[in-house]
């Protein structure tokens, strides 16, 4: 396995089968070891959910969109929120990805939890934004929130991602 650098990521984004689409500003978002994903929307969780031992025993929490103000900002209070990114990922069978929060968030008492982006995943992903800071946090639409890091697999995945979230939010 190996991690992709900026130039490798850029080539894959600009290829005939783009790795990432719907980005805001490619030059700003490309980093030495990944690409920053940006905020499209924030949702408040409004119910409980559950997960059992098989996929039929799963219920996602209900949620509702929190509106941005006229300048594109939203004030969030301590708690957890579901966020959706602008960018659409199109992972080939030889790549997987991991997302890590930007350090500016961490230094303000805010983090983002992400799942693994499996080889073969395609979609506009969602993650969990958690505000630990008791004073809350303000965030602007299209802000860069996480860095997505790409890992080239030693072998092609024999089966790409086939789960419930394939082609989500596109």
Number of domains in the chain: 1
Question: Is residue 108 included in any domain, yes or no?
Answer: yes
Q: With H, G, I as helix, E, B as strand and everything else as coil, classify residue 133.
A: coil
* Mean pLDDT within 7-26: 97
Q: What is the pTM of this model?
A: 0.94
Give dist(CA 131, CA 9) in Å, integer: 30
pLDDT digits (tens, 9 = 90+) for 122-158: 999 999 999 999 999 999 999 999 999 999 999 999 9
The share of the chain scoring above pLDDT 70, in percent, equals: 100
Domain interval for residue 112: 2-47+61-152
**41 lies in some domain:** yes
Note whether 105 and 150 are within 8 A (CB).
no
pLDDT at 61 over 90: yes
Query: Is pLDDT above 90 for 96?
Result: yes
Asked if residue 12 lies in contact with residue 91, where contact means CB atoms within 8 angstroms, the answer is: no
Q: How far is CA 88 from the centre of its chain?
A: 9
């Amino acid at each position: 396995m190996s991690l992709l650098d900026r130039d490798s990521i850029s080539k894959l984004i600009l290829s005939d089968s783009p790795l990432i689409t719907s980005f805001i500003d490619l030059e700003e978002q490309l980093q030495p070891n990944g690409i920053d994903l940006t905020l499209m929307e924030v949702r408040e969780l409004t119910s409980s959910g559950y997960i059992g031992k098989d996929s039929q025993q799963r219920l996602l929490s209900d949620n509702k969109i929190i509106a941005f103000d006229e300048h594109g900002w939203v004030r969030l209070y301590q708690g957890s929120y579901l966020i959706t990114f602008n960018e659409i990922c199109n992972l080939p069978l030889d790549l997987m990805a991991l997302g890590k929060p930007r350090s500016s968030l961490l230094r303000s008492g805010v983090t983002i939890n992400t799942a693994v982006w499996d080889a073969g995943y395609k979609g506009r992903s969602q993650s969990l934004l958690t505000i630990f800071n008791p004073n809350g946090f303000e965030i602007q639409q299209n802000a860069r929130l996480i860095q997505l890091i790409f890992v080239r697999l030693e072998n092609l995945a024999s089966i790409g991602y086939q789960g419930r979230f394939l082609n989500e939010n596109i």
